[in-house]
A and B are shown apart, each in its own frame.
Chain A
Amino acid sequence: MFELVKGRKFDLLNAKETIKLAHAFFSGKELVQMYKQKQPGKKIVSVSFPFSELVYAMDAIPLNLVRYEDFTYKGMDGLLRYLTTITKTLGWNSIDSLLKLAYFTRSGADLVDFFVDNMITAYNERTAFLTKLAEKNGFPVDSCFGSRLMYGMNVHNSKIVDASIDWVYRCPFFYKYYDSLGGLVKNNYIVDVPLDSGEVAEKTLEADFMELVSMLETVTGNKFSEERLAEAITITNELKALYKEILFVISKNGVIPYNPLTFSEVQALLMFSYVDFNSNLKAYRSNVKNLYAEMLRRVDQGLGFDATGHAKILYMPMFTGLEQENLKMLARFDAEVIFADWEVLGMLEPVSTTGNVVRNFIRHFLRLNQYFGPSSELLSNSMIRVARELDVDGVLFQGTFACKNIGPVLKMFKEKARASGIPVVETSFNNVGENVEQNKTRLEAFMEMIKA
């Protein structure tokens, strides 16, 4: 069991930034509608990977479409609206006091944990609906969860989108998926990132990128400016650095700022929210900055759970689908879970804002080829590097059904992990809630082995 280092659980109710992170992610519909009300001319651009700097530079709203869903599980949508109203009136500082008042409700000191957990369940409930919706609309049942989910999001809500930006890396199936959005989304733009480096690759991507810029200029009616791109990149660089701090400082600490399940779920939220930076870059920066401070304060003061002697498990890849039951099982088996997909894929590397910013930005995309490019060898090396740097006790490799690109890296990764002395367990994932028992058996055996 993870034990509190000192103090009471009551002290953990100072969690307004955690609540804010969840609120901003899950209130996407409400917030985007609010932005549109304030500035009706602003355009919405759908994004699916953490590359939304250009959308900010074009003064449009980037949106991870799943955020436009209604998360109705256990009335969470009502609670979110209630939070909006309260914070509009009393400000976010009132949340901690309210949380402490709520201590006297049935949830007591576990209120934040319940909230985060319910939100993740609400998310998964929605993803189940969206994948089914995709299938009903003719998207192949035996395609990977991620593509079905995103197709479903587009079937459901793409009408609100003015453009969509799709980045193609190493998975050929994924560009076919992106192409299939053509009939659903206006201005569906696929960026073909060359799986190579060097001058010709740079020129090619620059030409593609400028074509995208030109399309966005037409859609938004705004002129592209390198200064605005630099401004957005400056902020995302800060955010990437903060994410790395959370990964490499907080996760590795002997004290973790939440109970292990909540900690994994907060990390999941962080990962998801990096896709569109919750559609408001400055507000998001402030939230993540304060969230990091909130986490740091807790671990510095010992107001958290003692993680020493507990197994740390790196769960990857998670962007291909999140199985909440695995998190619950690992928490029951006394393990701390870490998600680091964006780090593994190199997406947290900073981009220089001096000199030719467009060129720097393009070089960043090409640099990702070292991780997400043509070589499974390099991708598995990156997985090993992150596992080592995080000093984890084991890796949960999520084998996602019909993932033809990252799934097959498992064999190579396993060999390298064995050589590095890192235990690996593979769980299978197709839809949320499937294979739970089978995964449980595997995880149980795996954790026993690690503990031994």
Chain B
Amino acid sequence: MESIVSTPTDEPFPYKSYFLEKKDEDSKLFAGILAHEMVPLEILRAAGLQVVPLIFVGPEEYSASGGAIMTHSTCSFARNIVGAFIHGDIGFYKDIKYLIRTNYCNGDFIGMEYLCKEFHLPCIELTAIPVKTQEYSIAFFRDQLVQFAQKLGNELGITIEESEISRQVALHNTMREALRKLQGIGIRGMELLQRYQEAAVLEPAETCERLDQLYFNNEEFLNRSKNLAKNESNILLTGDPLFVNDFFATWLEEFGASISYYDTWIGARMAEFTVDEQYPDVFHALARSYLLDQGLDRAVPGALEKKIAKVESIVASNNIKGIINHTLKFCDFLAIGRGRFKEKLGALVPVLDIERDYAQSGVGGIKTRIEAFIELVKGGS
């Protein structure tokens, strides 16, 4: 595993070998999870499961196949993931023994139910995540997490100890702390994105180890980092995350938009909170943190205004010169309010609003828009 964890930054992370090793050497059971922003992975890992985030996207055909089941006007990401299962090209998806289904969004809600049914996989449900963030919502979510842990335990024939969940909380907090440090070391673009994507997959200790090796304890990097592109224009990407294998991330880089801040749930948001380790009830601590500090685009009321305020603050504190608001077609949360977001943030810095799916057509148009945006950003800086 060490060789995998220390894969150099200029090589793609070998996810396939990683999961193969997890399966063969650690004999872990794989649990697939689509939208894990609101699901404490601490609980899944405390159950000894290997988390397989379903964040590996593929070609347009995947979305088309997923659409045949879920209809073509549902979230293009969820369709793509469902399609990936149907096509069967992603080997480690075949090793998944359980699927976690939540009501995070329609894509998760509908897609996972179908996958469980079609592929005869046990579905472990956390389908009552509240959308409000009141005290009673937190209490309810706590109860849901307790039930979720019980369901997992029953399915696996084990008792998930609270002490193990607490240990996982500490590990995840350490990982979050490490991820937070990524923002200040000068890496950006694909390199920064890949670290977040890896952190979504790797176990927390592995992420910490990898980041230490690549950056924090790496003398060569530390020397080099002093000269890292400090003068480049800082661009923030917000909205839907860029998932693993999404060609759009490469396009952005190729077209000159090197992202310095990913305000997405596979991005800086993964690290924006710390679960209270001192709180006597670990389920309550998890419920509070995940409900209040995650799912920014999901929580009501006032999600959009809160997001605008948050991005305004990132713009100010990170010297951001331009924003790309990235929406995947038919996303539940980000389709509404794009106009208002652009209007409000556009008063501060140029905002490029992009709505797309996984189709490769239209590259010319996107290239032109990104180039024009970069010119605007550079002109302003």
List the B residue with the shortest CB-CB distance to A405: B106
Tell me the number of A-to-B contacts counted with CB atoms below 8 Å: 140
Pair A196/B128 contact, Cβ less than 8 Å: yes
Comparing B133-141, B160-168, B225-233, B273-281, the segment that makes contact with chain A is: B133-141
Pair B114/A172 contact, Cβ less than 8 Å: no
Pair B337/A172 contact, Cβ less than 8 Å: no
List the B residue with the shortest CB-CB distance to A140: B335
Query: Which of chain A's residues have a CB closer than 8 A to the CB of B206?
Result: none
Question: Does A281 reach chain B (CB closer than 8 Å)?
Answer: no
Query: Which of chain A's residues have a CB closer than 8 A to the CB of B74?
Result: 404, 407-408
Looking at the assembled complex, report how far the CB atom of A140 sits from the nearest CB atom of chain B, in whole angstroms.
4
Looking at the assembled complex, report how far the CB atom of A25 sits from the nearest CB atom of chain B, in whole angstroms.
29
Pair B117/A412 contact, Cβ less than 8 Å: yes
Pair A192/B130 contact, Cβ less than 8 Å: yes
B312-352 Cβ-contact flags toward A at 8 Å (1 or 0): 00000000000000000110110111111000000000000
Q: Measured between alpha carbons, how far is A173 from B337 in the docked complex, in Å?
A: 12
Query: Which of chain A's residues have a CB closer than 8 A to the CB of B132?
Result: 190, 192, 208
Pair A179/B304 contact, Cβ less than 8 Å: yes
Looking at the assembled complex, report how far the CB atom of B181 sits from the nearest CB atom of chain A, in whole angstroms.
33
Pair A408/B110 contact, Cβ less than 8 Å: yes
Pair B127/A195 contact, Cβ less than 8 Å: yes
With known contacts A179-B300, A179-B301, A194–B335 Cβ distance under 8 A:
no
Number of interface residues of A (CB under 8 A): 47
Pair A404/B332 contact, Cβ less than 8 Å: yes
Query: Which of chain B's residues have a CB closer than 8 A to the CB of A177?
Result: 336
Pair B139/A192 contact, Cβ less than 8 Å: no
Question: Does A375 reach chain B (CB closer than 8 Å)?
Answer: yes
Pair B330/A142 contact, Cβ less than 8 Å: yes
Question: Does B125 reach chain A (CB closer than 8 Å)?
Answer: yes
B289-314 Cβ-contact flags toward A at 8 Å (1 or 0): 00000000010111111000000000
Query: Which of chain A's residues have a CB closer than 8 A to the CB of B302?
Result: 179, 182
Question: Does B208 reach chain A (CB closer than 8 Å)?
Answer: no
Contact of B109 among A142, A143, A172, A204 (CB under 8 A): A172
Pair A139/B336 contact, Cβ less than 8 Å: yes
Query: Which of chain B's residues have a CB closer than 8 A to the CB of A194?
Result: 128, 130, 140
A157-194 interface with B by 8 A CB criterion: 168, 170-173, 175-180, 182-183, 188, 190, 192, 194
Query: Which of chain B's residues have a CB closer than 8 A to the CB of A180?
Result: 304, 336-337
Comparing A15-23, A120-128, A259-267, A395-403, the segment that makes contact with chain B is: A395-403
Query: Which of chain B's residues have a CB closer than 8 A to the CB of A401?
Result: 73
Number of interface residues of B (CB under 8 A): 46
Query: Which of chain A's residues have a CB closer than 8 A to the CB of B143?
Result: 200
Pair A170/B103 contact, Cβ less than 8 Å: yes
Looking at the assembled complex, report how far the CB atom of B301 sits from the nearest CB atom of chain A, in whole angstroms.
5
Query: Which of chain A's residues have a CB closer than 8 A to the CB of B368?
Result: none
Question: Does B80 reach chain A (CB closer than 8 Å)?
Answer: no
Contact of B69 among A140, A208, A399, A411 (CB under 8 A): A411
Query: Which of chain A's residues have a CB closer than 8 A to the CB of B114?
Result: 408, 411-412
List the A residue with the shortest CB-CB distance to B107: A404
Q: Measured between alpha carbons, how far is A401 from B125 in the docked complex, in Å?
A: 27
Q: Measured between alpha carbons, how far is A176 from B299 in the docked complex, in Å?
A: 8
Looking at the assembled complex, report how far the CB atom of B159 sits from the nearest CB atom of chain A, in whole angstroms.
21
Question: Does B34 reach chain A (CB closer than 8 Å)?
Answer: no
Question: Does B144 reach chain A (CB closer than 8 Å)?
Answer: yes
Question: Does A374 reach chain B (CB closer than 8 Å)?
Answer: yes
Q: Measured between alpha carbons, how far is A376 from B130 in the docked complex, in Å?
A: 19
Question: Does A410 reach chain B (CB closer than 8 Å)?
Answer: yes
Q: Measured between alpha carbons, how far is A362 from B210 in the docked complex, in Å?
A: 50
Question: Does A201 reach chain B (CB closer than 8 Å)?
Answer: yes
Pair B136/A203 contact, Cβ less than 8 Å: yes
Query: Which of chain A's residues have a CB closer than 8 A to the CB of B332?
Result: 172-173, 176, 404
Pair A182/B301 contact, Cβ less than 8 Å: yes
Pair A195/B134 contact, Cβ less than 8 Å: no
Query: Which of chain B's residues have a CB closer than 8 A to the CB of A404?
Result: 70-71, 73-75, 106-107, 110, 330, 332
Question: Does A217 reach chain B (CB closer than 8 Å)?
Answer: no
Q: What are 23 A-B interface contacts by the 8 Å CB criterion?
A: A142-B73, A142-B330, A170-B103, A172-B105, A172-B106, A175-B300, A176-B332, A176-B333, A179-B302, A195-B103, A196-B127, A200-B139, A208-B136, A374-B109, A374-B128, A399-B71, A404-B70, A404-B73, A404-B332, A405-B110, A408-B69, A408-B114, A411-B69
Q: Measuring CB to CB, which residues of chain A are less than 8 angstroms from any residue of chain B? A: 138-140, 142-143, 168, 170-173, 175-180, 182-183, 188, 190, 192, 194-196, 200-201, 203-204, 207-208, 211, 374-377, 399, 401-405, 407-412
Other 6 A-B pairs with CB < 8 A, given A204-B130, A204-B140? A194-B130, A201-B140, A207-B134, A374-B103, A404-B74, A409-B110
